[in-house]
Structure 1
Amino acid sequence: MAHDHEIKDDARRKLTDQVLNFHEANGDAVAWNTEAPADFTFLFDPDHLLVRTSAVEAFERAVAATKDELLDGELTRAEESVQGRLVRYRLPPRRAGLSLPDVVTELRRIGDFPPGDVTLDHWIHVAPGGGTLCPAIEPEETGLKEPWPGQCEPRRRKRKPVRVSVVDSGWHPPAATDPRTPWLAGVEGDDELNGPDLREYAGHGTFIAGIIRCLAPHTDIYVEGFCIGGAGGGGILESRIVDQLEEALARDAKVINLSAGCRTHDDLPSLAFEVFYETLLKERDCVLVAAAGNDASPAPFWPAAAPWAIGVGSLDHDGRVSSYSNYGVSADVYALGRNIVNAFPDGTFTCEETPSKGDVRVFNTGMARWSGTSFSAPVVAGLIAREIYASGSSAADAAHAVLATSVYMSDPAVGPLQGLRQPYDA
């Protein structure tokens, strides 16, 4: 069989580029579930498991019962998170030939606990995809000087701005005072430390904040950064991202935009996200809007596929579902995600993915053009924030009102769906 780099297939080459770049950024903390990187469905930490606190005793009994068959050493209870409801364990080396997914499968088979209470610690990426690790395309230059979707006119109401949190790659501070992007005035966040040579995912959080602010001018936006300065290659473990989400709730956010996610082992719900919802989000006046992913797949992508999250798929400008967009359980609604235009750092960007690998793109207008469900999600987040401000309603009621404006559509490739048609700046 030919090696991936020898296969004359741009899609496989692109996937291989993405996975190996991600592995290089995180070293031995990244593993995948297939031999060839291009065939992976999920990425995980090869040395750690997550266990719901209520399942700890049953989990440890199962480990003790199979220790001689599965593991070569002692289990270590590493740490707890989400207010003590989630435990992270470090596992000793496995017996020859066993992968960590193999171990989990066997523990689930004999253990007296629900299967979803013991899981791998999956990698979440800022630009979601199970079979892709990036937006549908790398950012492109644009000669346009106005954002698209366009800026919505501010409304004259005596209400406090709506607080929105963007949990992402961080924030590009110069955009807040740049005369080319006045809609970002007042936005704050964790500095993503951009230089003249832009990283592959640089500007991702800033671009998303720009989309939200254009559609919802009366918002206080804070961009959380979980891969500042390139740490993690744009990714974070699910056990860690819930800490960022907890910080977002501490800021009293009414809307959280998460343009990130993952596939999981056996397609079970992400345990860290489930525990976060049950412990922290469920009782709060806040909605989480998540990108549906860019795999052109109906397989569940978390947290977008969770019933408590609003998963957003991508539409092209003609209203059809974008070729890259996930669909099915991960997409509650679809919005424009192709060729979005918004704020982007100035600098030189060298493409790292096939077929554009090595191409140099120069950004000097304060703007870029970008595509992916990463950017359809903030369209919906912005519309919900705008509805909260306009009506004074709860976050849940505002989300319901926005989704109620979607229209029934049908796409031969994905079947029936609900879509939000342009214009969004009305």
Structure 2
Amino acid sequence: MGDWMIGDDRRRKTTDQLRAFRRANEDQVAWNTEAPADFTYLYHPDRVLVRRADVDDFEGIARQVGERLFKGEPRRDDVTLLGDALVRYLLPERTEGQSVPEVLDALEEAGLERGKATPDHWVHVSPGGGGNLCPAIEPEETGLKEPWPPREPRLEKVARDVTVVVVDTGWNPTSATDGRTPWLDGVTGDDELNDPAHLRRYAGHGTFIAGVVRCLAPDADVHVDGFCIGGVGGGGILESDMVVQLEEAMKRDPQVINLSAGCRTRMDLPSAAFETFYEEHLRDSECVLVAAAGNDSTAAPFWPAAFPWAVGVGSLDRNGRISEFSNYGVSADVYAVGRNHVNAFPDGSYKCRETPAKGDMREFRTGMARWSGTSFAAPVVAGLIARYIGEHGVSPAEACDKVLARAVYDSDPVVGPHMELRHPFVPAP
């Protein structure tokens, strides 16, 4: 039976998402299971990543087993990643059509230490695997005229200027001058090139997130750095390209970066690209990276949220309980409300692409939308950190500690102990 025939909305939704994602990236997307609805990670079918320190080991073992695996030799890509701290290899045609994971299995059996070479994984907005590639839901219309969570008042005195960079799908410029969304005045970003007649998938994702940050930190300088301009990539980007985007974001000298994107990986090993980015840029900087925990309802690590140096954020419903879709465990250092946010969104016509609403038309005419996912929980925390920096003039690391210290431990019947941000719009348990 074809996977599309399975009578389960969750599986159909994942299959819809994955097929659309593959089309958007010209078939340069592979997954680690036979049925697309069962995937746990996505990767480029012909690339591997190797840290500079491990290049000799990788090339030596690849030569030893090359005739058995390859019709040719792996070659270094002609791009410089993270100051050449990370090397991307292009694999030649394989002798028996082996996948990248099968090639890595063979290299590790021949003596390469596990994790020294990894697939080039696909990173996706509000991402997931094993059940949900995209946001928890598609955007929904709303008649509300004010954002939720609501706007915080401006500070009487700003002790320190704060810059927040939202690395996401791009920016809807008209939202900054729209009288319906005045909290976005002064926000800048890479134009996502919306077509109001046919809003693309993930249109407004970065704008919505910038709106959440600005509602909580109205004095912050916010910039949206776009990686899927005009819909290119279908809301996704390879991790090797994502870290280049993060390098660009660091040039703005931000105190906070919000990344509502991430990925699962082969064997759940740490992402080589994100880890190298941290070592080369973030470790010695005054910048906090806040990342969405993902929407797979799993405790499996989701990168970069699962790294100890990132602030991973899971989602709560308005009643203070963890959202059904939210990841938990190592990927969620803290939980904030992520269900049914209302914030800025471009006007236009949107055709739903996912089961069970696939084919439905939604009309956005109020400058606003309603949306759910860990994507929107993350900027709550990013905004609170930015506000604390501006109010108290402290370092980003100290502000992060202070904000997380406001959280309270609670017990959820499914996931066990977790933290809940105590804030006026988050109900007490």
TM-score, scaled to structure 2: 0.97
Q: Does the 8 A contact of 2:75 with 2:91 survive in 1?
A: yes
Q: Give the equivalent residue in structure 2 for 1:18.
A: 17
Aligned length: 424
Q: After TM superposition, where is structure 1 displaced by more than 6 Å over at least 4 residues in a row?
A: none
1:77-125: CA deviation from partner (whole Å, max 9, x where unpaired): 1133001100000000112152110111221233354x22210000001
Q: Give the equivalent residue in structure 1 for 2:290.
A: 289
Q: Give the equivalent residue in structure 2 for 1:411.
A: 412
Q: Residue type of the partner of 1:14?
A: K
Task: Give the unaligned 5+ runs of structure 1.
Answer: none
Q: Residue type of the partner of 2:191?
A: D
Q: Residue type of the partner of 1:249?
A: M
Alpha-carbon RMSD across the aligned residues, in angstroms, is 1.3
Mapped partners of 1:315, 1:55: distance in 2: 41
1:103 paired to 2:76: no
Q: Give the equivalent residue in structure 2 for 1:136.
A: 136
1:199 paired to 2:200: yes
Deviates more, 1:64-73 or 1:345-354: 64-73
- Cα–Cα, structure 1 residues 233 and 158, in superposed 2: closer, same or farther, change >3 Å? closer
Secondary structure of 2:115 counterpart: helix
1:21-73: CA deviation from partner (whole Å, max 9, x where unpaired): 00000023111111111011111000010000000001000100111111121
Q: Residue type of the partner of 1:154?
A: R
Q: Residue type of the partner of 1:102?
A: E
Q: Does the 8 A contact of 2:151 with 2:216 survive in 1?
A: yes
**Percent identity over paired residues:** 63
1:361-384: CA deviation from partner (whole Å, max 9, x where unpaired): 000000000000000000000000
Deviates more, 1:394-403 or 1:92-101: 92-101
Q: Does the 8 A contact of 2:214 with 2:220 survive in 1?
A: yes
Q: Does the 8 A contact of 1:343 with 1:367 survive in 2?
A: yes
Q: Does the 8 A contact of 2:160 with 2:392 survive in 1?
A: no
TM-score, scaled to structure 1: 0.98
Q: Give the equivalent residue in structure 1 for 2:122.
A: 123
Deviates more, 1:126-135 or 1:366-375: 126-135
Mapped partners of 1:300, 1:276: distance in 2: 18
Mapped partners of 1:152, 1:375: distance in 2: 17
Mapped partners of 2:297, 2:180: distance in 1: 35
Q: Residue type of the partner of 2:413?
A: P
Mapped partners of 2:28, 2:269: distance in 1: 21
Q: Does the 8 A contact of 2:293 with 2:306 survive in 1?
A: yes
Q: Does the 8 A contact of 1:311 with 1:330 survive in 2?
A: yes
Q: Give the CA deviation at 1:424.
A: 5.0
Q: Give the equivalent residue in structure 2 for 1:53.
A: 52
Mapped partners of 2:26, 2:365: distance in 1: 33
Q: Does the 8 A contact of 1:407 with 1:420 survive in 2?
A: yes
Secondary structure of 1:146 counterpart: coil
Q: Does the 8 A contact of 1:75 with 1:92 survive in 2?
A: yes
Q: Give the equivalent residue in structure 1 for 2:3.
A: 4
Q: Residue type of the partner of 1:171?
A: W
Q: Residue type of the partner of 2:96?
A: A
1:185 paired to 2:212: no
Q: Give the equivalent residue in structure 1 for 2:32.
A: 33
Mapped partners of 1:422, 1:405: distance in 2: 8
Task: Give the unaligned 5+ runs of structure 2.
Answer: none
Mapped partners of 2:181, 2:73: distance in 1: 55
1:349 paired to 2:335: no
